[in-house]
């Protein structure tokens, strides 16, 4: 066995593509090894903007042998009465590449058959890799790929070199004219030129001598340490920004950190403006004091060691100063008009061709948000209504035009400076949340309701004009928005009827829907139900419990989730299994009997004491369960329902449900219907496994 190195050298790859590519490279190699029956030890991937590399230790010298057993014709066909092989046996043996004498007779379930056993020896790894490695490279997926020159090869960026070593031997192959070898490349500026790699084990050390840290984890550690050192030098703290740290890690091969300053007067700009100006355009880190206030410093990560750090620092400061000056100009110009004066300008900003302008959307969202507030938080109605009217107005500002990710944030700031009440400003700033996985949820009541209204309008509108997510495409991020709605409802425990809210959203879209409203309603509710199931599965709840509870009703969402959690917890109790068995028996009998002829059991037709006992028990339990369910005490409701089991079992023991007398039979079925109705307050027990 020997170690394996594969390095694909390219022009600079976008930083956001590299982590995913390295993960795919490792996964593809593992799948190839499994397919090719090739054993390997630890596998690691390394990468910089100019290279993607894979290191595998202790790769076996050859494939594992392949043992196969093939079943042939029946014994009676393969051998004659004297036991001599027939032409069928000879043909089967020849097809399998074995001698007739090597055929075995095996007793199988369907009788005696001949079986051919054969072993295919493994190929040497050195002969296998020239086929396997190019296939691996070409299979790497990227969000965008390109062609170059006159060739047909597509890759994320043009390939300039390939290193392929198995031990000390070069694995020879060519990709679109690029021949594999052992020559890598050093840092583009500080150590340009070839770097000979003698064997995989010295790969990282050789590149480090050429000013390249190939291991992303090491680069990240070096960057983090340098950032901490520089912030400590001014008595500050680094504003934590893990995504930015990840990005700059994959933008450099040999990192160095420079600290710069900017004029303190720029600190009068909103905090988010300063951070965005540093981060989004320049990839600079911000520095704060121990209370979180920004300090007039920034940290830049460079890809080279500066001969004169002062020159580099001055260059960064000059660029940032210009950027902050632009931001200050935009901020001052935008403030010349109050935020509410910009609402009419939204008529000229298209939301979606079939759904109208942002002004149209604002009016829809305002009506919907007011209705949501009336339903769950009447005291917040005024703030919600005003915030809804103003929530998109900042789309017409110069600041948002320059920094689109500040939408909502600038609306909040301009609302404050326009004299709007603080609840209105906060709601404007929060209504886009959550904007991505892991994002914060709205913290204010008005912000939460406005966010739900905005997202519901988008989801209903997109479904209404056929912009429905597919398995591979969701350009309007409707899945994320639906998850956001559910997260807000659950976080704030909003007893909100999703079907009613959706009905209101669809009413606001009247005249714009291109599909039947009933169809859209059912599709959107199903869409939300699937997202809710995903959320509950993410909490670790069994699928059958989720399905059973939601089959009994998924609205309000807060109540449905509480029922799932209660039933999942109750399942661990010893009384659960016999209880579920009894309830399933009830539902199976009812389903087998079809439609009931009586809505309520007729007491005059109850003949057995067990029938009267069950009717009385149902009445008593109903009062208790109604109160517990109304209070959201679903575990308590299950405990009360569990007490009904003995009475139901006694009923089954002493009473023939399917009596000959149709009236008696219907009455007993109606009595069981009362039992099923009680349990359906929690779940459809028939859908539980086991």
Question: Using one digit for the tens of pLDDT, what is the confidence trace for 130-172?
Answer: 999 999 999 999 999 999 988 889 999 999 999 999 999 999 9
Answer whether residue 464 shows pLDDT above 90: yes
pLDDT, position 440: 94
Q: How far apart are CA 26 and CA 10, in angstroms?
A: 18
In contact, 5 and 197? CB cutoff 8 Å: yes
- Of the listed ranges 83-87, 343-347, 425-429, the least confidently predicted one is 83-87
- Residue 164, classified by CB atoms within 10 Å of its CB into exposed (0-12), middle (13-18) or buried (19+), is buried
Per-residue pLDDT of 541-600, as tens digits, reads: 999 999 999 999 998 999 999 999 999 999 999 989 999 999 999 988 888 776 554 467
**Number of Cα atoms under 13 Å in the Cβ half of residue 163:** 29
Q: Angle 538-542-544 (CA atoms, 0-180°, nearest 5)?
A: 130
Q: How much is the pLDDT for 663?
A: 84
User: Buried b vs exposed e over 569-598: b needs ≥16 C-beta within 10 Å?
Assistant: ebbeeeebeebbebbbbbbebbeebeebeb
pLDDT digits over 388-424, tens only? 999 999 999 999 999 999 999 999 999 999 999 999 9
pLDDT of residue 599: 65
Tokens of 521: 């309603």
- β-pair type (169-170, 178-181): unpaired
Q: What is the mean pLDDT of the chain?
A: 93
Element (H, E) at 5: strand 2-10
C-alpha dist (Å) from residue 321 to 271, 284, 499: 16, 13, 52
pLDDT of amino acid 176: 87
Which residues are CB-contacts of 17 (< 8 A; sequence separation ≥ 6)? Answer: 142, 143, 144, 156
Rounded to two decimals, what is the model's pTM?
0.80
Q: Is the CB of residue 542 less than 8 Å from the CB of residue 409? A: no
pLDDT tens-digit profile of 304-322? 988 888 999 999 999 999 9
Can you tell me whether residue 174 is helix, strand or coil? strand
Which pLDDT value is given to residue 214? Answer: 97
Helix, strand, coil percentages, rounded to 5, for the chain: 55, 15, 30
DSSP, res 532: H
Return the percentage of the chain with pLDDT > 70, whole number: 99
Give 658's pLDDT tier (boundaries 50, 70, 90): confident
- Distance separating alpha carbons of residues 358 and 130, to the nearest angstrom: 57
Beta-carbon count within 10 A of 243 CB: 10
The pair phi, psi for residue 337, each rounded to 5°, is: -120, 140
Instruction: Compute the distance between CA of residue 536 and CA of residue 546 in angstroms, rounded to an integer.
Output: 7
Residue with the bigger pLDDT between 600 and 489: it is 489
Q: What is the mean pLDDT of residues 203-220?
A: 97
Scored b (16 or more CB within 10 A) or e, 265-292 reads ebeebbbbbbbbbbbbeeebbbbbeeee
Q: How would you class 450 by CB atoms within 10 Å of its CB: exposed for 0-12, middle for 13-18, buried for 19 or more?
A: buried
Q: Which residue has the tokens 């029938």?
A: 611
Q: What stretches of 109-192 adopt beta strand conformation (E)?
A: 111-120, 159-166, 169-170, 174-175, 178-181, 183-185
Whole-angstrom distance, CA of residue 9 vs CA of residue 125: 23
């Amino acid at each position: 066995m020997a170690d394996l190195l594969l390095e694909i050298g390219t022009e600079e790859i976008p930083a956001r593509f590299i982590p995913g590519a390295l993960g795919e490279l490792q996964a593809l190699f593992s799948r190839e090894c499994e397919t090719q029956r090739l054993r390997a030890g630890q596998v690691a991937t390394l990468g910089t903007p100019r290279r993607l590399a894979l290191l595998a230790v202790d790769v076996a010298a050859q494939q594992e042998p392949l043992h196969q057993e093939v079943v042939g014709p029946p014994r009676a066909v393969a051998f004659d009465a004297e036991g001599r092989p027939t032409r069928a046996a000879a043909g089967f043996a020849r097809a399998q590449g074995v001698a007739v004498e090597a055929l075995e007779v095996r007793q199988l379930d369907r009788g005696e058959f001949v079986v051919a056993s054969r072993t295919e020896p493994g190929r040497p790894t050195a002969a296998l890799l020239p086929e396997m490695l190019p296939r691996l490279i070409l299979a790497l997926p990227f969000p965008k790929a390109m062609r170059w020159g006159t060739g047909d090869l597509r890759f994320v960026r043009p390939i300039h070199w390939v290193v392929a070593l198995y031990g000390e031997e070069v694995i020879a192959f060519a990709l679109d004219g690029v021949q594999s070898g052992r020559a890598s490349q050093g840092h583009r500026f500080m150590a340009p030129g070839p770097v000979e790699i003698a064997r995989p084990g010295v790969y990282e050390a050789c590149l480090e001598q050429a000013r390249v840290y190939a291991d992303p984890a090491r680069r990240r550690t070096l960057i983090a340490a340098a950032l901490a050192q520089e912030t400590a030098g001014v008595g500050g703290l680094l504003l934590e920004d893990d995504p930015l740290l990840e990005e700059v890690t994959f933008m450099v091969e040999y990192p160095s950190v420079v600290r710069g300053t900017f004029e303190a007067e720029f600190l009068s700009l909103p905090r988010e403006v300063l951070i965005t100006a540093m981060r989004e355009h320049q990839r600079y880190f911000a520095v704060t004091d121990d209370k979180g206030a920004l300090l007039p410093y920034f940290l830049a990560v460079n890809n080279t060691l500066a001969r004169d750090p002062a020159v580099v620092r001055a260059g960064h400061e000059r660029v940032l100063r210009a950027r902050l000056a632009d931001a200050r100009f935009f901020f001052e110009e935008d403030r010349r008009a109050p935020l509410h004066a910009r609402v009419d300008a939204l008529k000229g900003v298209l939301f979606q061709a079939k759904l109208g302008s942002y002004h149209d959307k604002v009016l829809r969202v305002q009506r919907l948000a007011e209705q949501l507030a009336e339903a769950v938080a009447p005291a917040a109605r005024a703030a919600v209504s005003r915030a809804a009217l103003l929530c998109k107005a900042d789309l017409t500002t110069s600041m948002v035009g320059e920094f689109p990710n500040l939408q909502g944030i600038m609306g909040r700031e301009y609302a404050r400076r326009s004299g709007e009440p603080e609840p209105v400003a906060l709601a404007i700033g929060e209504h886009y949340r959550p904007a991505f996985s892991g994002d914060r949820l709205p913290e204010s009541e008005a912000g939460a309701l406005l966010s739900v209204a905005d997202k519901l309008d988008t989801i209903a509108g997109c479904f209404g004009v056929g912009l429905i997510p597919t398995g591979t495409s969701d350009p309007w991020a409707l899945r994320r928005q639906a998850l956001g709605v559910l997260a807000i409802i659950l976080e704030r425990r909003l007893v909100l009827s999703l079907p009613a809210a959706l009905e209101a959203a669809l009413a606001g879209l009247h005249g714009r829907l291109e599909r039947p409203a009933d169809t859209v309603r059912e599709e959107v509710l199903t869409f939300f139900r699937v997202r809710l199931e995903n959320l509950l599965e993410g909490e670790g709840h069994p699928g059958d419990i989720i399905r059973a509870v939601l089959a009994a009703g998924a609205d309000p969402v807060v109540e449905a989730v509480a029922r799932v959690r209660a039933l999942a917890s109750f399942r661990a109790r010893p009384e659960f299994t016999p209880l579920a068995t009894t309830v399933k028996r009830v539902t199976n009998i009812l389903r087998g009997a079809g439609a009931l002829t009586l809505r309520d059991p007729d007491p005059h037709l109850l003949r057995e004491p067990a029938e009267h006992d069950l009717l009385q028990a149902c009445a008593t339990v109903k009062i208790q369960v109604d109160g517990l369910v109304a209070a959201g005490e679903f575990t308590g409701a299950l405990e009360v329902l569990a007490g009904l089991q003995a009475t139901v079992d006694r009923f089954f023991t002493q009473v023939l449900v399917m009596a000959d007398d149709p009236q008696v039979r219907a009455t007993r079925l109606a009595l069981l219907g009362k039992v099923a109705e009680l349990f359906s307050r929690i779940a459809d027990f028939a859908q539980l496994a086991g």
